[in-house]
Amino acid sequence: MSKKDKIKAVVYYWNTKNCYTGFMTYNEVKKYVNIVRDQSMNRVINDASVDLIVKYMKSEGEEIFFPPVIMNSSTKIKYDSSASKIELEEGSLTIIDGQHRIKAINEILSEPDYLPDFGPKKIPFLIIEELSPEIHRKLFHTINDKSTKVQNNVSDRFSTTTYNLIGLKYVSENLEIKDLIEWEGKQSKEKIVYSHMLNCIELMEEFLESKFKNTLNEFEGILVENTKHFYNNEDYYIFFSEFWDYIFNKLNEKPQDKSFYVKEIALSYITKKMIDTLNNEALTDDNNSLKGLKDKVNDILDDLLPKELLFDYVFRINKSSDCNESLSNFLNCNKWLLNGGVSLKNKSTINRVFSKIIPKIFLDTGGYFSVTSDNYEHFKIFIETIDKQITDLLAQNKKEREIIRMINEDEGNHFYYADEQAAADANLSETKEEYFLSESRSEDTVTDNS
């Protein structure tokens, strides 16, 4: 074999076997790797997966990235220690891991138009020398059986989408909030799931692209995958940073409200409401309007969100318009209570009571929270009286679990009202079952961290 056919490699030892790692060209892959399908050694190749890899190779060109393929040499490998190079026999390598990558390489080299460009490209390899069929199969099983597919919510942050680049830019500039983000999981009661952040950023992006199309065309964007990205333009980026500054400040300043603001449905509602408000304003497609979004974001969120939540959203939740109206009622009710000077001492216990049982007059027929200006005064009396009753029972050394049970099991509707006349005005039913929704009340199951 001529010198030019030698492949640069580093040798090490595993389980009494010589192992070689380095890079080989696609042409060398085609020459030395046996792609024959041996189902006793390898799995069936999925042609659809191969087609996707070929498509990826053609679109990425110089930017192709492949992890190392792992192979077994059926023959003894000649190793030149002075030059750190190996000599291989044609067709002597069988695949332990990387069947689809190697099949894709063979496919693209079979196309004359791509052969000149792709033949010299290189892929990293690990070759183990003279493995027995039994050990070959064991390694294949170990590598593939123990591997875990990367979930979409994890792979999202490795994508080159504009909304991910914006999200990562924001986190990198505000490292103090990274512990408030759930990076791996799909749900969390304590942190904002990163993929939920990206959903909101994408909605905001779509708004800018539709409202300020002419302005964006004048910006000098960064080209990634044939798409212009404007996240490095401060006038563009500040729209997103102001929004997330506001949300994360809420989490830091009012940690007791965290369970609401980390909900996917809440973040989505807040984002859409802000965008709807902006769409209704007389914005023009010029730089001044785009810069002015910074102040508008804060003003809109100040108007939309209460300074704090006196009770949590523990009601029916899903991705419907009824739920959006319910969230609107919930936020408005909290603002009205704060403006009315209401201060509660037992918020967590009240939330637990509300999650178990609540008067029907404060819910619509679908079970959504429906307190409006028409019945707000009744709700105010209701929640203040519940708070007072909890305080009195705590003074009697009652435990929280017992207090909740006593309230839920109370037979007299007037237990909840300090004002008998208010109870009469509320048209209370004679029977508790008719007036209250019990623990068995229907709730939708949604993909949400509620």
Within 10 angstroms of residue 437's Cβ, the number of other Cβ atoms is 17
Q: What is the reported pLDDT for 156?
A: 66
Task: Give the model confidence (pLDDT) of 414-439 as tens digits.
Answer: 444 444 444 455 454 433 444 444 43
Task: Give the model confidence (pLDDT) of 369-420 as tens digits.
Answer: 999 998 899 899 889 988 998 999 899 998 888 888 887 766 334 444 444 4
Cα torsion 391, 394, 396, 400: sign: positive
pTM of the model: 0.65
Of 222, 211, 251, 216, residue with least CA distance to 236:
216
Q: What is the reported pLDDT for 440?
A: 36
Cβ neighbors of 173 (< 8 A, separation 6 or more) are 241
Q: List the chain pLDDT tens, one digit each, 450 residues.
A: 444 468 888 888 887 788 899 999 999 999 999 877 554 455 567 888 888 898 888 888 778 888 899 888 888 999 988 888 999 989 889 888 888 899 999 999 998 888 888 989 999 999 998 877 767 766 776 666 655 555 566 556 666 677 888 888 899 899 899 889 998 788 888 999 999 999 999 999 999 888 887 777 777 666 555 566 676 778 888 899 999 999 999 999 999 999 999 999 999 999 999 999 998 886 766 666 777 788 899 999 999 999 999 999 988 888 889 999 999 999 999 999 999 999 999 988 888 888 877 888 898 888 899 999 988 998 998 899 889 989 998 999 988 888 888 877 663 344 444 444 444 554 544 334 444 444 334 344 444 544
Of 153, 149, 162, 147, residue with least CA distance to 202:
162
Sequential DSSP letters for 372-390: -TTTHHHHHHHHHHHHHHH
Q: Could you write out the three-class secondary structure of 202-247?
A: HHHHHHHHHHCHHHHHHCCCEEECCEEECCCCHHHHHHHHHHHHHH
What residue type is assigned to position 70 of the chain? I
Q: How far apart are CA 115 and CA 108, in angstroms?
A: 7
Give me 322's structure tokens.
Answer: 């009824």
Beta strand pairing status for 122-129 and 358-359?
unpaired
How buried is 408 (Cβ within 10 angstroms: 0-12 exposed, 13-18 middle, 19+ buried)? Answer: middle
Q: What is the reported pLDDT for 227?
A: 61
Q: What is the reported pLDDT for 143?
A: 66
Domain ranges of the chain: 3-147, 150-305, 331-450
